[in-house]
Amino acid sequence: MDHQAQTRKQAMLVSWILWGAMLAVLAVYVFVILVLQQGNAPPDKLDPALPRNLGVVAGGIASLSFVLRCILLSGFRSGELSADTPRAARRLLAGNIVCFALSESIGIFGVVLGVLGYPRDTCANFLMGAVVMMVYHIPLARRFEPES
């Protein structure tokens, strides 16, 4: 295997490892919420606007992840960039990390709401949103190769 192909393969492997680890953390978040809320009565006063406000922020974060994906990673599909060079491989990793982290942050909102005592279904909306975003940003090799 030549050096360029090795560079691309390593960048993709690291992207997959990071993606899998961040997806696994979302499962840990679910476990944390289930354990924290087990047998606990919800607090008397919960701000009904907080989940809605966090939902608006989560929508903005999701939109930002789409925009940054386009800015940072669309050059691979158009053929302007190739993950075969070390510089482009770093860009591929950085772009993926940014998209993964933004997606993960939506799940954090669910954890915060769970810690505060909001119902599990409210928390689940944010956690499922994070999972959907992570699946959308899955680092498939074909996404980083020029379109035919």
> What are the structure tokens assigned to 55, written together?
């939902």
For the stretch 57-116, pLDDT in tens is 999 999 999 999 999 998 888 888 888 888 888 999 999 999 999 999 999 999 999 999
In this predicted structure, which of 2-11, 48-57, 112-121 has the lowest mean pLDDT?
A: 2-11
For the stretch 23-51, pLDDT in tens is 999 999 999 998 888 877 777 889 999 99
For the stretch 120-138, pLDDT in tens is 999 999 999 999 999 999 9
Q: What does pTM read for this prediction?
A: 0.88
Q: Which residues, other chains included, contact 136 with Cβ-Cβ below 8 Å and sequence gap of 6+? A: 103
Please check the confidence at residue 15 and state whether its pLDDT lies above 90.
Answer: yes
Residue 79 φ then ψ, to 5°: 90, 0
Q: Which residues, other chains included, contact 107 with Cβ-Cβ below 8 Å and sequence gap of 6+? A: 25, 26, 29, 126, 127, 129, 130, 131
Give the distance from CA 21 to its chain's centroid.
10
